[in-house]
Amino acid sequence: MGEKKMAQNVNAPVEQYHNAKQWEIALFSLNNSASNLYLFAFGFLTYYATGVVGFATLTVASLLGAARLFDGLIDPMIGVIMDHVDTKWGRFRPIMLISNIGLALSFALLFSTHLFDGGMKFVIYFIALIFHKIVYSFQQTVTKAAQPVLTNNPKQRPLFSIYDTIFSSIGIFSLGQMLIANWLAPRHGGEFNAAFFGEFITGMVVLSFILTVLAMIGIARKDNKEYFGLGANSVETKSIKDYWSVVKGNRPLQVLALTSALVKFLSTAIGDQVFLVLIFGIVLGNYGISGTLGLIQIVPNLLLVAAFSILASRTSLKNAYMASLTLLIISVSTMGLILYTSPDTTQIFANGGLAMYAFSAGYIGFKIAASYPTSIVLTMAADISDYETARSGRFVSGLIGTVFSLTDSISTSLAPIMIGWLMIGIGFTDAYPGPDEPLSDGLFSAATTLLVILPVVISIIAMFLMTRYPLNRQKMEEIQEKIAERKAA
C-alpha cells in the first residue's frame, strides 16, 4: 500500500527498502531453474555428440569450448540490449519468454544433428551451439539483472538462495541426476542413445517453459521503472565510455566477477556427466550411486543453505560465501583422504562401513558448497547493481549481470576442453569412457585431479579474492540510505 502511494505522490517520502512477497521471490527463482534445466541437459551433450553423432572427443571438446568463448564475448552486448528494453509488458518478462522459446528451438536443432549427413553435421551442430548460447545468456542474465528490482532489503535477498536451492540444486541437479541414473538410463539399457535423448530432451523443454511462465508471474509486479535504480531520475548510460566507466570504477564487480568465474569453472566441471561417470561409474564402480547420493543430499542441502542464508541475513552475503568455500575445502579433503588410502576404491560402497559414510558425507558437502556460491552470486550481483546506482546514479543491472556471464563463459569454456584433453591424455581419443570402463591408474589420476586437486586450489584462490570484496552489511545499509535520499531529492 505504501509503495502504491509512493508511486502516485512524488512528494511522499521514499522508503529505504522495497520488499517482495514471499511467493514472488519463490516464483521468480524458477527462472534460474528454467535455464538450469538446459545447463543440466547440456552436461549430456558430450555423450550425444560422440555416441550418437559420431564426433571425436577432441572435436566435441573444441566445439563446446569455442561456443562458450563466443558466448562470453557477446555477453556485454546482451547486457547493453537488456538495459535498453522498455515495453508495456516491462523489461524482463518479454526477454524471459522469447529466450526460453529460443532455447527450445536450439535444442530441437542441436539434438537432431545425427539426422544430417557428412560435413553438414558439423555446420548444424556449431550453428545450434552458438544460437543456444545467445538465448541462454539472455534468460540466465535476467535472473541476475532483475534481482535489484525484486527486493533491496538485505534480510530478504538471501531468501532467493533458499528457493533457488530447493528448485535448482535439489529439484534439478539432485533429483534430475537420480532420475537419469536410476530410471531413464536403465530404461534404455544403460546407454545414452538417440531414444534416451528423445525422451529426456522433450520432457526437459516442456518443464522449462512451464517454469519460465511461473517466473514471469513472480516478477510481474516489480517489472516496471519505479524499481529501476533511481526510477525516472536514473542517469542514462548511452556511450561505450559510459559503460566502461561502470566496469572500471566498480571494484566489487571486478572482484566478484573473477571469483565467481573460478567457482563456476569448478561447478561446470563437476556437473559434467563425464566427471560423474568417471567418479561413480569407474572409480567407485557403480554409476547409480550418483543418483542415490543426489537423493540423500536433499535434506542436508536444505539445512546447510538455510544456515548459510541465516548467516547472510544476520551478517553479510560475503560471510556466507566464505563459509561455503571453507566447507568445500573440508569436504574435498575428506574424499581425497579416503580415495588415496583405499586399497580398492571400487569396493568402498560395496563393503560399506566408515569409509562409505565418510565419502558420502564429503561428497554431499562438496556438492552443496560448490553450488551455493553460484546461487548466492545472483543475489550479490543485486548488491553490486545498487552500489553502482549509489555511486553514479546509473541502473545498469543488465550490463552487470552480463559481466558475470562474460567471465563465467570464458572460464567455463575451458571446462569441457580441460576434461577432453585430460581424457585424450590417458588414451581416450575417439570417445569418452563409459560407466563400464575398468579402472586404471590413468583414470584414477584423472578422477582425483577433478575431484580433489582442482577444487582445493580454486577454493583457496577464491577465498583470497573474497577478502578484497568490500560490500559488507554496514556498507550495504549506507548504500540503500544514499539511494533513498537521491530518490527523495
Domains of the chain are 22-488 (1.20.1250.20)
Q: Residue 13 — pLDDT band, cuts 50, 70, 90?
A: very low
Summarize the confidence of residues 314-322 as an average pLDDT.
90
The angle that helices 397-412 and 251-271 make with each other, rounded to 10 degrees, is: 40
pLDDT for the residue 163: 87
**pLDDT, tens digit (0-9, with 9 covering 90-100), for 340-372:** 999 999 899 988 889 999 999 999 999 889 888
**Model confidence, pTM:** 0.72
Summarize the confidence of residues 231-236 as an average pLDDT.
59
- Using CA atoms, how far apart are residues 425 and 446, in angstroms rounded to an integer? 9
Mean pLDDT of all residues in the chain?
A: 84
Q: Which residue has the higher pLDDT, 141 or 238?
A: 141
pLDDT for the residue 5: 39
Summarize the confidence of residues 419-432 as an average pLDDT.
83
- Using CA atoms, how far apart are residues 120 and 209, in angstroms rounded to an integer? 29
Q: What are the cell numbers at 426?
A: 590417458
- Using CA atoms, how far apart are residues 250 and 391, in angstroms rounded to an integer? 9
Strands (E), 127-222: none
pLDDT for the residue 2: 43
CA angle (377 as vertex; 84, 239 as ends), nearest 5: 25
- Using CA atoms, how far apart are residues 482 and 240, in angstroms rounded to an integer? 26
Summarize the confidence of residues 234-262 as an average pLDDT.
79
Summarize the confidence of residues 192-215 as an average pLDDT.
91
- Give kind and range of the element (H or E) at residue 129: helix 120-145
Q: Identify which of 413, 483, 423, 428 has the alpha carbon closest to the alpha carbon of residue 447.
A: 423
Is the pLDDT reported for residue 331 higher than 80?
yes
Is the pLDDT reported for residue 232 higher than 60?
no
**pLDDT, tens digit (0-9, with 9 covering 90-100), for 450-472:** 999 999 999 999 999 999 999 88
Summarize the confidence of residues 21-47 as an average pLDDT.
89
Q: Which residue has the higher pLDDT, 72 or 144?
A: 144
With 0-12 CB in 10 A as exposed, 13-18 as middle and 19+ as buried, what is 427? Answer: exposed
pLDDT for the residue 489: 67
Give me the amino acid identity at 153.
N
Q: Residue 392 — pLDDT band, cuts 50, 70, 90?
A: confident
Give me the amino acid identity at 232.
A
Is the pLDDT reported for residue 10 higher than 60?
no
pLDDT for the residue 7: 41
Summarize the confidence of residues 241-269 as an average pLDDT.
85
pLDDT for the residue 231: 58
Is the pLDDT reported for residue 28 higher than 90?
yes
Q: Which residue has the higher pLDDT, 79 or 184?
A: 184
pLDDT for the residue 205: 93
| Residue 69 and residue 413 in contact, taking contact as beta carbons nearer than 8 Å | yes
Share of the chain above pLDDT 70, in %: 92
